[in-house]
Amino acid sequence: MKKLFILLIVLVSASFLYAFISNKKENVITIGVCKSVEHEALNSVVSGMEDYLKKQNKKYKILVETSQGNMALGSQIMAKFANSGIDIVVTVGTSPTQCGFKLAKAGKIKLVFASVTNPDDISPNLEGNNTTGVSNFVPLEPQVELFKKIQPSLKNLGIIYNFGEANSVSIVKRLRRVCKKAGINLIEQGVSTITDISQALAKISADAIFISNDNLALSAMSNIIKICNKKKIPVYVSDTDQVEKGCMAALGPNQYDIGVQTGKMVQRIVDGENITDIKVEYPRVSELFLNEKSANLLGITLSDDLKAEAKQTFK
């Protein structure tokens, strides 16, 4: 069985290498993409990048893999990309970026990240280490202000986050300060697996729940909304893609546009620009999405002024 497993790995690696050599002969640029988990936001990022690159005057082959939130698997995927001579590696999410940065720093890959909330979680010295990318961070202050506009009596805000995800821990630290300044009590529930989320929600007694770019929580969003609807608690998010699914509101970046920004960075590198000269970028705009159907279900009225500000209101 062990010999069969080793043979399988060799065959997969050989086919991967053969495909890469064939692409080189055809002057095809190969992009290795690794997402941290499967959910709509990260998929939108990849779609934005793919759509942008398809319109360019180069031939691209894009290989997409998912590390399933597992650092060991992420490291294996990064090693495979590096050993296969991939032209550019794109990581979507913090954990695969942490795996990829080690190889980029060693000069083994060129790394472009996307949807990393706090790039400093990867390293405070990204520039000059074959790494650049696009963060999905938006300030927390206007988001909390939005929650209070919708719920003027908001006093207790719950947050579910993966305490093993560096960007989520960073967000919670910032949110503590923002909530304290706004006179809001922040109720924190850290989880490590999807199965922990239901229990965490059961423990929280809050006026609203906030999910901010936590990949584990986002992958369980349908269940979070279902539980919170039963408890008559609105759910706020930073990911606008989640509002149509039943979240009350989101003030955040368009994930597809982040993918387009990422694609533009990839194209600049392919066109010959030195990756060390490309600065890390942040979302160019934040968009307001509202769900009036969810508001009505919870007995909350969205003001006409707020709806006028929204890019989209789901009814």
pLDDT tier at 69, thresholds 50, 70, 90: confident
Computed over every residue of the chain, the mean pLDDT equals: 91
DSSP 206: -
Name the more confident of 1 and 109. Answer: 109
| pLDDT reported for residue 178 | 98
Quick one: average pLDDT of 147-176?
95
Work out the average pLDDT over 281-288.
Answer: 92
Q: pTM, whole model, 2 decimals?
A: 0.85
Compute and round to an integer the Cα radius of gyration of the chain. Answer: 21
Query: Which domains, from first to last, does the chain contain?
Result: 26-137+255-277 (3.40.50.2300), 141-252+287-314 (3.40.50.2300)
Q: Give CA–CA dist 10/24, Å, rounded.
A: 21
State the Cα–Cα distance between residues 135 and 265, nearest whole angstrom: 13
Q: How far is CA 312 from CA 10, 150, 216, 287, in A?
A: 50, 16, 26, 9
* Predicted pLDDT of residue 15: 52
Amino acid letter, 268: R
In this predicted structure, the answer to whether residue 64 has a pLDDT above a threshold of 70 is yes
Please give the structure tokens belonging to residue 272.
Answer: 């010959």
Structure tokens at 42: 């990260």
Q: Give the pair of three-digit tokens for residue 104.
A: 């980029």
**pLDDT (0 to 100) of residue 2:** 46
pLDDT (tens digit per residue) in 2-19: 455 444 444 545 555 555
The CA distance from 276 to 128, in Å, is: 5
For residue 254, CA distances in Å to 128, 239, 242, 250, 310 come to 28, 8, 11, 10, 13
Please enumerate in sequence order all residues whose Cβ is within 8 A of that of 18, keeping only pairs 6 or more positions apart, or say none: none
Give the span between the Cα atoms of 132 and 264, in whole angstroms.
12
The span from the CA of 300 to the CA of 234, in Å, is: 9
Mean pLDDT of 126-143: 93
pLDDT for 16: 52
User: What pLDDT, on the 0 to 100 scale, is given for residue 17?
Assistant: 53
